[in-house]
């Protein structure tokens, strides 16, 4: 009997009140216990970059290993590495009595400005799903649980509680649902977290079509679906729509509300039973796990973090083999990012690292000849003279044979709760590059950022390294790559465009007010750039090595494939260089003649091979019928037109190495593409994808009324929305005092958590123990109804 069936049997023995109590959290970080039936609390904490157990103000907490950010790890293209990182995370979680990690996040990187992109893997759904699945399996092999998030359409942080992601049917299934489907089917996480936003007008925690019919129904998910923190707009009746666990909760009054809803017929006994059973699966899995994995060694975890960074850092440019350096003589380091431990983003993923190391720390420990350093720019310190810092850096560059120039996004620019304003590096850093280049052209550029930035000076740098946000041991791995002790093998899991204007969604992201139109449809990332033949800075899959590889010919097990058939593709890869190297082999599928809109090519497999000099290994791929399908909205399923498809082994999304073909025998008669799809069939010929709101509405089968200004405030208004009202100003002061620890003012996380709190809707206050009456009163006061606000406090609800 599996865990869900055991839970359903257990639920039959529980009184209704006990079942109702299971449907919401016991405080911020655990589920409710029921001791009469040996049902323990399940303790959960954040985990995308490592274990985060918050302190008293939610900002600081227990030190833990800070692993490379998912944006960095994705560049490894290695499921084995992701499994190992997950294993370390799970072991550390159990050591600190945490049962469930709130990770991984597999949301698609739709736009580079999304503040949370550093927490996600890729612009490609297959890669995102496979890496997320591997991390889940790694975590859960220890006996801890994993939570897949944020389901789904959470591709921007701007007004994330209130906006609606308007996505057409094809893009919904092909791009945004697919990584979750892969991770759920292959990883089997304990839990799935519903995102804050709406999808096509429906709040995700209330979306019975996606939560009940798709996830629990068609996909067969047998775990628990929880809300994001304060993410349920209708917390009681959402349990009838697929939500099992509401998180968090600072009051037990919700039990009364649930019982009343059952009594009044708003919630059925069956809905309560099923939700309670799925929450109980967490407790059952906790009770049944083995305790052997509780042994934990922080040094072991940090070693894996370092190995992961070494396999993920991307060498994007290496003009005339500028790298690796033979030694560090004549080398100078310029840039404040080399001095500051900029290893992660901000928000709920923030880990208090055990031993954070800056690049200068590594240099002082490992340098044989001593390396000179100049700060170069203020990096947010208002007390420093930027011009003086730049002049000092230029003087140092004049005296140096080669320059290692560190540039980085500001520490608080990438965070949960808000988006970046642009794709540019700070002006003072751009000017610094120009000034240094005037006196020294031997520049190796290191860019610290969790998401792509514009690099207008990339052509002038001799070498470029992209570590993303590499975790607490990342700078050690970076130093080893520079000195040739590690051969770089990272490959970009997302496209780096030349400028923000080239991003397909740039003209309509994030959207007006609370509606975000996904007008680019399926053309996200390389699917757009390659189809439109749009030049980019670095293509998806790009990454250089200190060795070279030679590819053999493609071997196919089958000449054709039918709906129930499979085919195997094999290709030999040889290391023809002089050093050990790891090669990522990428398989793309394409078809020249299409009656329906299709990207130029799509990733269908990736294999990582580690090869000694002269060694040959075989990359092997399994292909199935669905690999040649698209989601046909008119049929409501995955379908193929059939015909001859190209199979291409590619160095990156722009460079084909070896190709072959296979015939696909289709079983379905695919209807013709509707006339509304014309913009998506012809945009390549017309240039940049330019679809009007009306054309997108016709394609998506919707009618969009023009959005007007909100008529006053309501419970979905955010604390920031009401911040200019008298009551809003008072609340703003209170939130600031709560989110700021006076003893730790120097920690930059304070500002990030304050901004996150201000972005929450008023309705979320009920999860913090604030009564519904008070929330209604705050709304009334914000709208200028002074006496009505006080009357609300006297009413009975």
- Length of the chain as a residue count: 797
Q: Which residues contact 345 (CB under 8 A, 6 or more apart)?
A: 69, 115, 116, 118, 119, 414, 415, 416, 450, 469
Task: Give the pair of three-digit tokens for residue 441.
Answer: 């052209």
Cα–Cα distance measured from residue 547 to residue 549, given in angstroms and rounded to the nearest whole number? 7
* CB contact at 8 A, 619 and 589: no
What gap in Å lies between CA 549 and CA 571, rounded to an integer? 12
Q: Please answer whether residues 193 and 150 qualify as being in contact, where contact means their C-beta atoms are separated by less than 8 angstroms.
A: yes
d(CA 183, CA 173): 14
Residue 311 near residue 84, CB atoms below 8 Å: no
Q: Angle at the Cα of 740 (from 737 to 745), degrees rounded to 5?
A: 135
Alpha helices in 581-714 (DSSP H): 678-686, 693-700
Smallest CA-to-CA distance from 631 within 173, 280, 175 is with: 173
Scored b (16 or more CB within 10 A) or e, 186-212 reads: ebbbbbbbbbbbbbbeebbbbbeebbb
C-alpha span between 88 and 84 (Å, rounded): 6
Strands 566-575 and 616-624: antiparallel
Spatial separation of the C-alpha atoms in residues 113 and 155, rounded to whole Å: 10
Distance linking the first and last C-alpha atoms of the chain: 43
CA–CA distance, 214 with 203 (Å, rounded to integer): 15
Spatial distance between the Cα atoms of 542 and 317, rounded to a whole number of angstroms? 10
Q: How many Å apart are CA 91 and CA 138, to the nearest integer?
A: 10
Whether the CB-CB separation of 409 and 427 falls below 8 Å is answered with: no
CA distance linking residue 351 with residue 349, whole number of Å: 6
* CA pair distance 455, 467, nearest whole angstrom: 15
The SS3 of residue 773 is helix
**Of 99, 228, 328, 627, which residue is the catalytic one?**
228
Question: Comparing C-alpha atoms, which of 219, 215, 202, 165 is closest to residue 524?
Answer: 165
Nearest CA to 501 out of 456, 542, 540, 545 is that of 456
Structure tokens at 393: 């850096």
Q: How many helices (H) and strands (E) does the chain have?
A: 22, 28
How many Cα atoms sit within 13 Å of 190 on the Cβ side?
A: 29
Q: Is 361 a catalytic residue?
A: no
Half-sphere CA count of 361, side-chain side, radius 13 A: 15
Cα 137-140-141 angle, rounded to 5 deg? 80
Give the residue among 163, 176, 165 at the shortest CA–CA distance from 122: 176
Please give the Cα distance from 115 to 215 (Å, whole number). 27
Q: Give the residue among 526, 562, 755, 517 at the shortest CA–CA distance from 662.
A: 562
Report, as residue numbers or ranges, the catalytic residues. 228
């Amino acid at each position: 009997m599996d865990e869900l069936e055991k839970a359903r049997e257990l639920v039959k023995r529980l009184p209704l009140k006990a079942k109702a109590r299971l449907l919401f959290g016991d405080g911020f970080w655990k589920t409710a216990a029921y001791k009469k039936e040996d049902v323990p609390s399940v303790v959960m904490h954040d985990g995308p970059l490592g274990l985060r157990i918050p302190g008293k103000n939610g900002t600081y907490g227990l030190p833990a290993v800070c692993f490379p950010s998912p944006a960095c790890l994705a560049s490894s293209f290695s499921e084995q590495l992701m499994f190992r990182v997950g294993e370390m995370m799970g072991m550390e979680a159990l050591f600190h009595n945490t049962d469930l990690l709130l990770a991984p996040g597999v949301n698609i990187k739709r736009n580079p400005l999304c503040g949370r992109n550093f927490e996600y893997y890729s612009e490609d759904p297959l890669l995102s799903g496979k890496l997320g699945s591997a991390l889940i399996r790694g975590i859960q092999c220890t006996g801890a649980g994993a939570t897949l998030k944020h389901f789904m359409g959470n591709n921007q942080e701007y007004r994330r509680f209130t906006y609606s992601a308007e996505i057409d049917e094809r893009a919904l299934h092909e791009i945004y649902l697919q990584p979750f489907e892969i991770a759920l089917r292959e990883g089997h996480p304990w839990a799935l977290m519903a995102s804050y936003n709406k999808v096509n007008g429906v709040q995700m925690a209330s979306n019975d079509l996606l939560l009940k019919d798709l996830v629990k129904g068609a996909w067969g998910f047998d775990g628990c679906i929880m809300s994001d923190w304060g993410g349920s707009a209708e917390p009681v009746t959402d349990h009838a729509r697929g939500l099992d666990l509401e998180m968090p909760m600072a009051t037990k009054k919700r039990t009364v509300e649930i019982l009343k809803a059952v009594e009044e017929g708003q919630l059925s006994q069956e809905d309560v039973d099923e939700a309670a059973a799925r929450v109980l699966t967490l407790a059952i899995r906790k009770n049944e796990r083995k305790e052997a994995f509780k042994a934990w060694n922080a040094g072991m975890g940090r070693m894996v973090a370092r190995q992961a960074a070494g396999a993920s850092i991307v060498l994007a440019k290496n003009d005339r083999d500028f790298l690796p350096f033979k030694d560090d003589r004549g080398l100078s380091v310029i840039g404040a990012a080399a001095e500051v431990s900029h290893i992660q983003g901000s928000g709920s993923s923030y880990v208090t690292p055990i031993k954070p190391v800056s690049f200068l720390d590594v240099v002082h420990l490992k340098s044989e000849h001593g390396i000179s350093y100049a700060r170069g720019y203020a990096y947010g310190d208002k007390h420093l003279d930027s011009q003086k810092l730049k002049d000092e850096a230029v003087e140092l560059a004049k005296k140096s044979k080669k320059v290692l120039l560190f540039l980085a996004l500001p520490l608080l620019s990438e965070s949960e709760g808000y988006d970046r304003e642009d794709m540019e590096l700070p002006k003072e850093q751009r000017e610094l590059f120009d000034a240094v280049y005037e006196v020294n052209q031997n520049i190796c550029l290191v860019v610290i950022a969790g998401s792509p930035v514009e690099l207008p000076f990339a052509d002038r740098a001799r070498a470029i390294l992209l570590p993303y946000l590499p975790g607490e041991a990342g700078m050690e791995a970076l130093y080893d790559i520079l000195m040739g002790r590690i051969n770089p093998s990272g490959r970009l899991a997302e496209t780096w465009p030349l400028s923000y204007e080239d991003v397909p969604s740039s003209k309509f992201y994030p959207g007006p007010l609370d509606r975000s139109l996904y007008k680019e449809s399926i053309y996200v990332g390389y699917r757009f750039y390659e189809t439109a033949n749009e030049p980019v800075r670095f293509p998806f899959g790009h990454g250089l090595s200190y060795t070279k590889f030679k590819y053999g010919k493609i071997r196919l097990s089958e000449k054709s494939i039918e709906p129930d058939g499979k085919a195997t593709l094999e290709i030999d890869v040889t290391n023809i260089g002089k050093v050990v190297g790891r090669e990522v082999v990428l398989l793309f599928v394409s078809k020249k003649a299409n009656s329906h809109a299709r990207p130029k090519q799509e990733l269908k497999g990736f294999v990582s091979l580690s090869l000694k000099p002269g060694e040959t290994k075989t990359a092997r791929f399994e292909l199935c019928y669905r690999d040649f399908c698209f989601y046909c909205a008119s049929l409501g399923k995955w379908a193929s037109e059939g015909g001859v498809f190209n199979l291409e082994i590619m160095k990156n999304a722009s460079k084909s190495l070896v190709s072959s073909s296979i015939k696909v025998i289709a079983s379905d008669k695919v209807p013709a593409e509707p006339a509304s799809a014309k913009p998506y069939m012809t945009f390549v010929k017309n240039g940049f994808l330019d679809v009007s709101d009306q054309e997108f509405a016709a394609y998506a089968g919707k009618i969009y009324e023009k959005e007007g200004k909100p008529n006053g405030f309501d419970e979905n208004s955010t604390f920031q929305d009401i911040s200019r009202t008298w009551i809003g100003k008072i609340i703003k002061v209170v939130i600031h005092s709560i989110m700021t620890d006076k003893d730790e003012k120097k920690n930059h996380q304070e500002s990030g958590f304050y901004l996150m709190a201000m972005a929450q809707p008023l309705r979320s206050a009920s999860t913090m123990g604030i009564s519904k009456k008070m929330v209604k009163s705050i709304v009334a006061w914000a709208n200028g109804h002074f006496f009505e606000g006080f009357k609300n406090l006297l009413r009975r609800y």
